[in-house]
Chain A
Amino acid sequence: MRKFEAVRSKALPLNRADVDTDQIIPAKYLKRIERTGFGEFLFDDWRKDPAFILNEGVFSGARILVAGANFGCGSSREHAPWALEDYGFRALIAPSFADIFRNNCAKIGLLTITLAPEDVEFLIARAEELPEAETIVDLESQTVATADGSFVRSFEIDPAVKRNLLEGLDAIGLTLEHEPDIDAFEAARPDRYPSTTPAEAPA
């Protein structure tokens, strides 16, 4: 996983609540067997509307997305974070995120930041008013700030997620460091759970 570096960029305002992962990446694009290349299909249906915010050239190059509450609800498809990341986003800011989506983002180095609704509203209004204005996201200090310094907010983050993002750690490698614990757990537990084998079809 890529290490998370501080981000300084324009912020793209997506002033909608309950944005589901079917909108972020429609199901018809889930047939690829690669992790990459989903960015061009990000918000594919909504982008057919010329007035959709992603079509506004002034926001091109934005690496921060600011959105309404419950962002990423619905399907567990990790293709949604892959598409956002592939498109160029590094940090997402919203009043709340759906659980699976937030976990998926953390696993690929995409930072999700939860701020108070009024702070998110402020950032959305500011980005709509001053599209070129930059926002700074710093994970080390856990702050979101406008580049002019007039707005600074700190955010909470799970310390383990923070460390994994900053160091770009391999979560599986970390767990496998404790493989003896898994072995011991398996050895000690009662054998009451079903096996999936053999799976030969019944005659």
Chain B
Amino acid sequence: MPTIAEKIWEEHLVRREEGLPDLLYIDLHLVHEVTSPQAFESLRLAGRPVRRPDRTLATVDHNVPTEGRDRPWDDPLSIQQVETLRDNCAEFEVPFYDIDDPRQGIVHVVGPEQGLSQPGMTIVCGDSHTSTHGALGALAIGIGTSEVEHVLATQTLPQAAQKTMAIEVDGELAPGVTAKDVILTIINTIGVGGGTGHIVEYRGEVIRSLPMAGRMTICNMSIEAGARAGLVAPDDITFDYLEGRPSSPTGAAWERALDHWRGLATDEGAHFDTTVQLAGADIEPCVTWGTNPAQSVPVSGRVPDPGDATSESAREQTERALRYMDLEAGTALADVPLDRVFIGSCTNSRLEDLRAAAATVRGRQVASSVRAMVVPGSGLVKAAAEAEGLDEVFRAAGFEWRDAGCSMCLGMNPDILLPGERCASTSNRNFEGRQGPGGRTHLVSPQMAAAAAVAGHFVDIRDWEMR
């Protein structure tokens, strides 16, 4: 009685030997400019080819500017990294969505959007947020550069056995509560290391009723709880999403695929090493106050008091976080003023996210004290949003409307916070300096970020009147 993760694992087993990690076959390898140059260089030095260029796709996302792309870029190192990927893809014959390709975008937006990420697949990428693709019912694992090289050379990856964890979110969500709030609450519940060594399967009515974008938001942040991967068993919502995408099967192949995909579920009575249960009704819109993604409270809450910590080390950690964030214990989150708002990243830059944010700001103005930007997840998301007029809504409200990329999620391109700036961000990490040295990040949902941009401080989206 295996779990879906165990079924996918066994289906991809190339080799099993006592005392060694299993050797798994990899169906899709996504590549970007930051974690691949050293891997290609080592292949070149060893005289090894890319085994399956047709199972590999590269694009540029981390470094790319999100405006003025037709002008010469300012940063020679970013140019070099992008050019290196372009050259490597040409040399090793790897398909590449270049900067001027309409499909270019954040690698974890591109894969599902193209229909390349499908149920039952094994997917890897040299990026920790590869877990995103688990939303399609795939086993998707973030890897490092040495492993990128290993997959390029062999199309396989040695993987030690993982434990399984079921996270069940039952019931339904209250209005204004989003997938982002669900995953922030999960991380707050199990901790930033709570998922270590586990593949998480998200289950329960709340998960089942989420559209694919929401499932991707949840799976995306599995790594923020330390999990090796996170996935959702495929269902009709998944199949509806996939049907008609450029790389989805068609005709008889589609029917065969559906037959296979419908069997990809955790068997009744399957064993999970760990089970966590949450009630959807208890989840509130969340804001992080600290410097890791577990440090969040409901937006109606207050900045915690280090004195309430259960151990000396937890107290020190809270104190250090509050010092970095320049927050006083007991401050109401709603009273925290903001300088910047960032709507984007592989967590929350899909069309549904942009629609939700646009609905929140429609007919309103960004506060004069706030600089706000929207960075769509891909060129195709951008085009689809523009076709609906979302760009006009954002621009009219005073948002910057930009080109696709990782942007201010990690500040590798020119989009960064200045030291001391405070940002409401739909991204995934509030680590010290993540969005720029000295910058202060609060993680929220797209709706909450959009409302905060208008108000100039956090507001409870449940009190927000949609006009």
> Which residues from chain A sit less than 8 Å from chain B, CB to CB?
16-18, 20, 22-23, 26-28, 30-35, 45, 68-70, 73-79, 81, 96, 98-100, 103-104, 107-108, 158-160, 171-172, 175-176, 178-179, 181-182, 185-186, 189, 192-199, 201-202
Asked if B196 and A70 sit within 8 Å, CB to CB, the answer is yes
Expressed in whole angstroms, the minimum distance between the Cβ of B416 and any Cβ of chain A is 9
CA distance A75 to B224 in the complex (A): 9
What A residues does B77 contact at CB under 8 A? 31-32
- A18, A33, A175, A192: which contacts B158 (Cβ < 8 A)? A175
B193 within 8 A of A: yes
What B residues does A32 contact at CB under 8 A? 77
**Nearest B residue to A107, CB-CB:** B146
Expressed in whole angstroms, the minimum distance between the Cβ of A45 and any Cβ of chain B is 5
CA distance A104 to B141 in the complex (A): 13
Asked if B193 and A69 sit within 8 Å, CB to CB, the answer is yes
> Which residues from chain B sit less than 8 Å from chain A, CB to CB?
14-15, 19-21, 23, 25, 27-28, 34-35, 37-38, 41, 46, 48, 51, 53-57, 62-63, 75, 77-78, 80-81, 84, 95-97, 101-103, 115-116, 118, 121, 126-128, 142-147, 149-150, 153-156, 158, 160, 192-193, 196-197, 223-224, 226, 228, 246-249, 253, 256-257, 260, 292, 313, 317, 320, 410-412, 429, 431-434, 437
CA distance A186 to B121 in the complex (A): 14
Asked if A197 and B53 sit within 8 Å, CB to CB, the answer is yes
Asked if B143 and A76 sit within 8 Å, CB to CB, the answer is yes
CA distance A138 to B253 in the complex (A): 55
Asked if B144 and A26 sit within 8 Å, CB to CB, the answer is no
CA distance A20 to B46 in the complex (A): 32
**Nearest B residue to A176, CB-CB:** B154
**Nearest B residue to A117, CB-CB:** B313
- A30, A171, A192, A198: which contacts B257 (Cβ < 8 A)? A192
Given the interface contacts A192-B249, A196-B116, A199-B57, does A76 sit within 8 Å of B21 by beta carbon? Answer: no
Given the interface contacts A17-B313, A33-B80, A69-B193, does A172 sit within 8 Å of B46 by beta carbon? Answer: yes
**Nearest A residue to B81, CB-CB:** A31
- A30, A76, A159: which contacts B142 (Cβ < 8 A)? A76
Asked if B128 and A192 sit within 8 Å, CB to CB, the answer is no
Expressed in whole angstroms, the minimum distance between the Cβ of B295 and any Cβ of chain A is 10
CA distance A45 to B438 in the complex (A): 9
- B154, B192, B433: which contacts A175 (Cβ < 8 A)? B154
Asked if A100 and B144 sit within 8 Å, CB to CB, the answer is yes
- B128, B247, B412: which contacts A31 (Cβ < 8 A)? B412
**Nearest A residue to B379, CB-CB:** A201
- A74, A78, A178, A202: which contacts B145 (Cβ < 8 A)? A78
Asked if A160 and B20 sit within 8 Å, CB to CB, the answer is yes
Asked if B14 and A181 sit within 8 Å, CB to CB, the answer is yes
Asked if A33 and B81 sit within 8 Å, CB to CB, the answer is yes
What A residues does B128 contact at CB under 8 A? 74-76, 100
Asked if A195 and B153 sit within 8 Å, CB to CB, the answer is no
CA distance A107 to B149 in the complex (A): 11
Asked if B118 and A194 sit within 8 Å, CB to CB, the answer is yes
Asked if B226 and A99 sit within 8 Å, CB to CB, the answer is yes
Expressed in whole angstroms, the minimum distance between the Cβ of B113 and any Cβ of chain A is 13
- A100, A192, A195: which contacts B54 (Cβ < 8 A)? A195
Expressed in whole angstroms, the minimum distance between the Cβ of A123 and any Cβ of chain B is 15
CA distance A18 to B41 in the complex (A): 32
Asked if B317 and A17 sit within 8 Å, CB to CB, the answer is yes
The 8 closest A-B CB pairs, nearest first, are A199-B95, A107-B146, A104-B144, A70-B193, A78-B144, A33-B37, A31-B77, A194-B247
Asked if A20 and B431 sit within 8 Å, CB to CB, the answer is yes
Residue contacts A-B, CB under 8 angstroms, 11 given: A16-B317, A30-B62, A35-B145, A77-B144, A100-B143, A100-B144, A158-B21, A186-B25, A194-B118, A196-B55, A197-B54
Given the interface contacts A22-B432, A182-B25, does A33 sit within 8 Å of B116 by beta carbon? Answer: no
CA distance A143 to B411 in the complex (A): 41
CA distance A76 to B63 in the complex (A): 16
Expressed in whole angstroms, the minimum distance between the Cβ of A188 and any Cβ of chain B is 10
Expressed in whole angstroms, the minimum distance between the Cβ of B379 and any Cβ of chain A is 10
CA distance A103 to B147 in the complex (A): 9
Given the interface contacts A69-B193, A199-B95, does A193 sit within 8 Å of B27 by beta carbon? Answer: yes
Given the interface contacts A96-B193, A175-B150, A182-B14, does A193 sit within 8 Å of B28 by beta carbon? Answer: yes
- A20, A96, A99: which contacts B228 (Cβ < 8 A)? A99
What B residues does A77 contact at CB under 8 A? 34-35, 144
Asked if B56 and A76 sit within 8 Å, CB to CB, the answer is no
Asked if A76 and B35 sit within 8 Å, CB to CB, the answer is yes
Expressed in whole angstroms, the minimum distance between the Cβ of A103 and any Cβ of chain B is 6
CA distance A142 to B158 in the complex (A): 23
CA distance A22 to B192 in the complex (A): 15
Asked if B154 and A172 sit within 8 Å, CB to CB, the answer is yes
Expressed in whole angstroms, the minimum distance between the Cβ of B191 and any Cβ of chain A is 8
Expressed in whole angstroms, the minimum distance between the Cβ of B318 and any Cβ of chain A is 11
Asked if A181 and B23 sit within 8 Å, CB to CB, the answer is yes
Asked if B154 and A182 sit within 8 Å, CB to CB, the answer is yes
What A residues does B317 contact at CB under 8 A? 16-18
What B residues does A30 contact at CB under 8 A? 34, 62, 412
Given the interface contacts A100-B143, A182-B155, A185-B25, does A31 sit within 8 Å of B78 by beta carbon? Answer: yes
- A27, A70, A176, A186: which contacts B192 (Cβ < 8 A)? A70
**Nearest B residue to A48, CB-CB:** B437
- A35, A69, A178: which contacts B23 (Cβ < 8 A)? A178
Expressed in whole angstroms, the minimum distance between the Cβ of B16 and any Cβ of chain A is 10
- A28, A33, A175: which contacts B38 (Cβ < 8 A)? A33
Asked if B434 and A22 sit within 8 Å, CB to CB, the answer is yes
CA distance A179 to B154 in the complex (A): 8
What B residues does A69 contact at CB under 8 A? 193
CA distance A70 to B292 in the complex (A): 12
What B residues does A81 contact at CB under 8 A? 144
CA distance A103 to B157 in the complex (A): 12
